[in-house]
Amino acid sequence: AIGSCDTNNDRNGNDTCPDYPFAYLGGVIQDPSKQQFINGIFPNPKTEFDTTTKGPGCRCRNIFLGPGYSDVDLSLAKSFLLPSMPVLGEQARLVFRGDFFNAFNILNLSNFGVALAPTDILNTGQFGKAQTAYEGRVIQLQARFQF
């Protein structure tokens, strides 16, 4: 009776963690380009998927690497010391600062669309394609008076 206990709640009744593929049936897509994520890695038209075959798929899990994320953030600042005055104090200064987020305006795509049900593969044109992108260059300028 204890052998069929399911304490890890994976519904297979063996109380182990076999939540991994039992056979390695595919490989990793090497160096996917961002253009592949924009166009979709999968063949078009979407009717090329064989929906009559039942059983395990031909690819193992985690074969797609996400499009990745990279950016360079820069900050530039210049401080000007103001003349010493009784009203301003001895260390009064004017500071100009510029913050540049994603300074080189690198295109960062979101993860590609997934299928939540087998019919989603055929019924949506979004499967396997990046639908959105993250923000481009953002510039923040600042002037500050310190005393």
pLDDT over 60 (residue 10): no
Query: What separation in angstroms does the CA of 118 have from each of 21, 57, 58, 60, 65?
Result: 19, 12, 15, 17, 21
Answer yes or no: pTM beyond 0.85: no
The structure tokens 């993860």 sit at 111
Strand ranges inside the chain, DSSP E: 74-81, 93-101, 138-146
Q: Average model confidence (pLDDT) for the chain?
A: 72
Binned at pLDDT 50, 70 and 90, residue 24 comes out as very low
pLDDT at 6: 55
Task: Convert the pLDDT of each residue in 74-127 to its tens digit.
Answer: 999 999 998 888 888 888 999 999 999 999 998 888 877 666 666 666 666 676
The structure tokens 């994976």 sit at 10
Q: What amino acid occupies position 96?
A: F
